[in-house]
Structures are given as C-alpha cells and as structure tokens.
Amino acid sequence: TDPALIRNFCIIAHIDHGKSTLADRILQLTGVVEDRQMRAQYLDRMDIERERGITIKSQAVRLPYKAVDDATYVLNLIDTPGHVDFSYEVSRSLAACEGAVLLVDAAQGIEAQTLANLYMAIENDLAIIPVLNKIDLPAAQPEKYAAELAGIIGCDPSDVLKVSAKTGIGVDDLLNEIVAKIPHPVGDPDAPARAMIFDSVYDTYRGVVTYVRVVDGELTTRERIQMMSSKATHEMLEIGVSSPEPTKVAGLGVGEVGYLITGVKDVRQSRVGDTVTSAAKPAAEILSGYRDPKPMVFSGLYPMDGTDYPVLRDALEKLQLNDAALVFEPETSVALGFGFRCGFLGLLHLEITRARLEREFNLDLISTAPNVVYQVVMEDGTEYTVTNPSEYPEGKIEEVREPIVRGTVLSPAEFVGPIMELCQGRRGTLLGMDYLSEDRVEMRYTLPLAEIVFDFFDQLKSRTRGYASLDYEPQGEQVADLVKVDILLQGEAVDAFSAIVHKEKSYAYGVEMTKKLRELIPRQQYEVPVQAAIGARVIARENIRAIRKDVLSKCYGGDISRKRKLLEKQKEGKKKMKMVGRVEVPQEAFISALSAD
Ligand code: GTP
C-alpha cells in the first residue's frame, strides 16, 4: 500500500469509557465484520478480559475505508491496554501510530490514567483527535467536558467530536477526521527493513504471533529475520494482517502493520519494543524505546493443596509463554509449604495472573501480601536486593532504599482534603496541584510504591465515593527508615507474615497482626503467645488462651445426628490445619490474615 493512504491510530480511553464498543462500531462501519457476525467486543479475545471488561493485550486490525474524498484508505487500529500496570505496552503501541483518538465518557470526564496516556501520546508527537462518547446518555454533559478537553490539549471546544459508540452517531465523521488530521507514515522504502514489535502473543496452534509496525524497508516471507536486541535470528513462516481474521500477505512495507509468525517458541524471544530486521541485510540502528519489563511487585503464590504444586509450576510456565513480564522462582515457606515467589508489573497484573491461574488451571491459591523490591546496604558495603521480606538480611544495616513513584490523582475538587490526608498518611509529598476546570483538580505526588500496593486504590475510591482516579509511574528510589517486623507463634517466626514497613508504622502493623491472629487461631491445648518483633525486640503481644476443646458439651439433649454432624465438621476442619511448630493453624487463618482488610 502507498504510505500516503495509510493511517495508523490508536484509541486512548479509560476503562468503561467505550473503547471496545467504538472499535465494534468501526469494524461494522468499514464492513470488515458483517452485522450478523458481530458480537460485542469483537477484539477482546481472552475470556477473562471480556468478563472483567478490561483489555490486556493490544492487537491491531486493518480496515479499508472509503473517505469523503472517494479514495480508499487503510486504517490500522492499534488497540492499547488501558491500565497503569501495562503502561510500557501502551507506550509501544503509541509508538506504532501517528495519531490517537482520545475517547472520553461525556458523563464522566477525563480520568488520571487517560491523562497519563494522553501526555505520553503528545510526547510521541501524535496527532490527537479529542472525542466525547456516550452523548446519547441523559447524564452526558458534552459542553462542560468539551471545554475541559479543549483546555487540556489546547484546542477549541468546537473541535471536540461528539459520538455515541452505542448508536453509531458521529462515528463516520470520526473516521473522516482520522483520515484528514492524522499524518500518513513516512519511512525509507529502500533502507534495510526495520519494524517495531508492539505486541507478542502466544497462540497454542500458531506459536508466537508477533505484531509489528514497519518503519523502513520491507519484510517478506522469503527471508530470515533478526531480533536486534538479542541478535537472534529466526525463520519467517508467515506474514499477515488482521482484517480482523488473520490473512496471509506476501510482505509488509513502510508504515504497514501486521503480524509475523516465526520459529519463536515463547514471547520472551520476541519482546515488545524490540526491532525486527532482515537477517541477510540487517539495519545498523535499533529503533529507540526498547526496555526490559521490570517486575515491581512481588508476592508468594502457594497452592492450598500441597499436591497441586507441580500443576502450579506448569501453569506458571504456560502463562509465561504469553507474558514476558511475569517472573517466578520456587520458594518454601514454613507456614505455607512449597510455592513460588512471583514478580509482577503492578497490582492489577498480580490480580489478573492469580485469577487466570485459578480459573484456567483450576487451582486454589494463597498469596502473601504483595511487597516491593528493597535494596539493603550493610555497614560492610555488601548490598542485597530483597524481593521477599523473610530474606531481609540480619546484621548491621547502613541503609535501605525503596522504590518511589510519581502519582497523579484526578478528582472532583470537593475531595481535595481527604485525598491529601490519605497521601500524607502514605508518606507522600505533594509536588503540585492544578485545576483542570472549576470543579476538577489534578494533584501530583511522590509516593513510596510500597504504600500504593497496600490497598491505596480501595482507600482512594472509598474516600472519594469512587470519583478519584490514580495513575503512577516509577521515579527511582529513596532511602527510607524501614524495618522488618516478624510475627511469632510460640516464639517461632511465621515467614508468610513478615513484612518490611516504615519504622513509624511498625508498631501499628504488629498490633494489628497479633490481634487478627489471636482471633483467627482457635484455642489450643496450651497457651500460645502471638508476638510481633523487630529483630529480638518484641513490640506487641497477644495470648491465645488454652482450653480443652470439647465441642460436644455445647449440645444439650441427646440429638445424636447433630452430634455426629459436629464431629464430622471438626474432622474436616482438622484436615485443613497446618502445623507451625507445635501450633495448629487453620488454613483459613492464613488466608484471612493475609487479605488486606
Ligand atoms: P475496556 O474494554 O474495559 O477498556 O472498556 P471499554 O472502554 O472498551 O468500554 P466498553 O466498550 O466495554 O463500554 C463500557 C460500557 O459502556 C458498556 O456497558 C457499553 O455498552 C457502554 N457504552 C459504550 N459506548 C456507549 C455509548 O455511546 N452510549 C452508551 N449509552 N453506552 C455506551
């Protein structure tokens, strides 16, 4: 295709603002999906995506479109994931485009994550087409939010398009605007081939499917390709485009978007952000922007039933085929047995991975409280990277560093007070505050990542009745006054409960955990002390009193069937007990104590 007739664009939108619905309408309008084949959210393939209503993996679809000038254009719609954890993937799909549709719910206004992605698009020099969606809703306030959007991107409020992805109003105008406003791709057709990988998906039948955008030259089926970051070469088995079903083509030229199927076996050999070139005639320079995905949040995952351990290992290996950002290694815990320490991009990534393990592999899992990565420097100069609190080094510590993030909160102005209170309580530093409109503010904070992984989102939502939104990005690390708190049952540390916390919060953590455990662990034959300690210093203590457990005495009369039921129930409970030293702890206690509330 002549690059002058190509338009590569993506849709930047907050979850639920209607990106999938708009994509569905565009598929229908361009005629690539017939009306009777149309199912809602055609492009979201993973079941779990559809169920949770979020898009995890970006994909591209090629659409022929006859514009008002009667020329037929090729529109490549590149789907971007909406959530903060996947912002690196977002940045790569943006880099594959010349323009972005900024889609905002006309009843809600713009959200923090959308704003973050918008700024990223502006930095990448993308043409921005501002669009308000859901104008059919009675609660829509198109004038108000058009003014807001115009203020943010510096255009006239009348330039903001108004559509309803549901009814289809305005969608044709939007496509014409895309053709008119978004520049066509430019590249050197005679240079050695260079294409950027913006997505890479493992498919059981086809192996790894790599989605690329060609920048220079041409990729054809006849040649071997090379991944420029690793120099590894692979056989090219198929080149194609999604329209939206996979369709083979002979090659991809300047500005074109499509997929490659090669001999690659797992997505880690075909990483998002890497540059693909021809093995015979390799390009000299890699396209900028390649970055290894770096896990920021760690948690231990353990099967409820110890015999499921091999199943969990296989399941993690399978997920990793499709998720270059997921890392794991075996670990053992006194309390929880054999499991894996897993690293994730963020909390949502953790949650999704866990849900997929439980659903697709039928596993029941316990996860330990998520923690971040700490750098511990000892007085003798040795340095440790700690991804598991129970591996916190003993001895004389010079300093501990923790990761920090730059967080942006968007909220109605009335909640400024509660948000400041929350962020200050989480060791945040206010960097600045701006009014986007009369009643909406943007607040910028530096915050320790550790404070965000622990129920920050929930707190933010509950203090602002769900109206505030948060986005964050890594900002390096800082030295902090951190200590490890251990929880001991009868003098023995329970590794799954160890936590690295700020010194000022260590006492509260100790009190809370010991209280919780006293309530959760049933009385034993003897008294069991529950303690919280920093090193050898005990900071909190509770006692589980001794009793002789005699459930039958509670049964008055001689109702034999009731007695039997109770005995059976007790037997069942026993099965799920774990021994910590001499103390019997029901598995339920671990689960409840580890859950955030
Ligand atoms: P993710 O896939 O989670 O990113 O969400 P999304 O942004 O793709 O949103 P989706 O298309 O799933 O739409 C969210 C909800 O809004 C759905 O219930 C849609 O039916 C509804 N919706 C989308 N567009 C419109 C619209 O123009 N009008 C109305 N009334 N509802 C809409």
Considering only CA atoms, which of 540, 544, 546, 551 is closest in space to residue 505?
540
CA–CA distance from 102 to each of 56, 88, 149 (Å)?
A: 18, 18, 9
Nearest protein CA to atom 2 of ligand 1, as residue = 54
Residue 300 parent element (H or E): strand 297-303
Considering only CA atoms, which of 78, 106, 93, 94 is closest in space to residue 18?
106
pLDDT at position 559: 55
Q: Quickly tell me which residue has 């708190």 as its tokens.
A: 485
Q: Which two tokens stand for residue 266?
A: 């797992």
Q: Ligand 1: which atom is nearest the Cα of residue 14?
A: 7
By DSSP bridging, strand 72-78 and strand 6-13 are: parallel
CB-ligand 1 contact for 134 (6 Å cutoff): yes
pLDDT at position 202: 79
Distance 457 CA to ligand 1 centre (A): 22
Distance 14 CA to ligand 1 centre (A): 10
3-class SS at 424?
helix
Residues 386, 418: contact at Cβ < 8 Å? no
Considering only CA atoms, which of 497, 496, 500 is closest in space to residue 481?
500
Distance 178 CA to ligand 1 centre (A): 21
Q: Residue 538 is which amino acid? A: V
Counting ligand 1 atoms within 8 A of each CB, the residue from 10, 14, 20, 108 with the most, and so the one to mutate, is 20
Q: How far apart are CA 504 and CA 502, in angstroms?
A: 5
CB-ligand 1 contact for 498 (6 Å cutoff): no
CB-ligand 1 contact for 333 (6 Å cutoff): no
pLDDT at position 309: 95
CB-ligand 1 contact for 117 (6 Å cutoff): no
Q: Ligand 1: which atom is nearest the Cα of residue 133?
A: 27
CB-ligand 1 contact for 90 (6 Å cutoff): no
Q: Ligand 1: which atom is nearest the Cα of residue 167?
A: 27
Q: What is the DSSP string of 165-192?
A: TTT-TTHHHHHHHHHHHSPPP---TTSP
CB-ligand 1 contact for 165 (6 Å cutoff): yes
CB-ligand 1 contact for 133 (6 Å cutoff): yes
CA angle 543, 548, 551 (to 5 degrees): 115
CB-ligand 1 contact for 101 (6 Å cutoff): no
Distance 351 CA to ligand 1 centre (A): 22
Q: Which two tokens stand for residue 425?
A: 């309580």
pLDDT at position 52: 44
CB-ligand 1 contact for 18 (6 Å cutoff): yes
Q: Ligand 1: which atom is nearest the Cα of residue 52?
A: 3
Tell me: ipTM over 0.90: yes
Q: Which two tokens stand for residue 151?
A: 């203020």
CA–CA distance from 478 to each of 294, 354, 390, 405, 429 (Å)?
A: 18, 30, 21, 10, 13
Q: Ligand 1: which atom is nearest the Cα of residue 163?
A: 27
Distance 298 CA to ligand 1 centre (A): 32
* pTM, 2 dp: 0.74
pLDDT at position 465: 86
Sign of the torsion formed by the C-alpha atoms of 414, 418, 421 and 424: negative
Distance 19 CA to ligand 1 centre (A): 6
Q: How far apart are CA 330 and CA 337, in angstroms?
A: 11
Sign of the torsion formed by the C-alpha atoms of 33, 38, 41 and 42: negative
Q: Which residues contact 374 (CB under 8 A, 6 or more apart)?
A: 385, 386, 392, 400, 401, 402, 482, 500
Q: How far apart are CA 441 and CA 443, in angstroms?
A: 6
CB-ligand 1 contact for 142 (6 Å cutoff): no
pLDDT at position 554: 52
> Which residues make up each annotated binding site for GTP?
16-21, 133-136
CB-ligand 1 contact for 82 (6 Å cutoff): yes
CB-ligand 1 contact for 108 (6 Å cutoff): no
Distance 43 CA to ligand 1 centre (A): 13
* HSE of 186, CA atoms in CB hemisphere, 13 A: 2
CB-ligand 1 contact for 293 (6 Å cutoff): no
Residues of the chain with pLDDT below 50 are 46, 48-58, 555, 597
- 491 φ/ψ angles, rounded to the nearest 5 degrees: 85, -5
Nearest protein CA to atom 19 of ligand 1, as residue = 18
CB-ligand 1 contact for 166 (6 Å cutoff): yes
The torsion region of residue 204 among left (phi > 0), alpha (psi -120 to 50) and beta comes to alpha
Summarize pLDDT for 24-64 with one digit per residue, the tens. 899 889 887 766 565 555 555 545 444 444 443 447 889 99
CA angle 526, 529, 531 (to 5 degrees): 165
- 55 φ/ψ angles, rounded to the nearest 5 degrees: -100, 120
Nearest protein CA to atom 29 of ligand 1, as residue = 134
3-class SS at 258?
strand
